[in-house]
Amino acid sequence: MNLEIIIEPWKRLVIHEIIEHRFDDFVQMVASQNRAIGGGIPTISWAKGIVFQWGALPDTESIIQEKLKGILHWGSVIFAIKEKFEKQIMRENVTINFNDVGVNEIFAKLAETLRTQSKFKSI
């Protein structure tokens, strides 16, 4: 068998909207969303002092064409600064898990970029 395996990293991530919250407001939003959908334990991504959630655009024909060119499109990213990583916190009677995704190159670079965009970085 002559199988060639190619790893081709993404070339670009295009984010169409960035929404920043203070960490406490971010947690309150996650807790409210969690209650609205009926529970479970939400897991939030954390990388390099930034917590975030993202919404990818649906795979339409044009989005798939972009992906084949190495371009990801996310509709939005919601984020907040949280310097210290914790696996879990309890707020408003809701447990929230955090997943350290900083080893992923895309997420690490995203966190660095979001930090430069932050309105609250010096607060």
What are the counts of helices (DSSP H) followed by strands (DSSP E) for the chain? Answer: 3, 7
pLDDT of residue 122: 59
Q: Which of 41, 103, 47 is nearest to 79 (CA)?
A: 47
| Amino acid 45: pLDDT | 98
* Mean pLDDT for the stretch of residues 9-37: 92
Contact indicator for 52, 44 with CB cutoff of 8 Å: yes
122: helix, coil or strand?
Answer: coil
Nearest of 102, 103, 109 to residue 11 by alpha carbon:
109
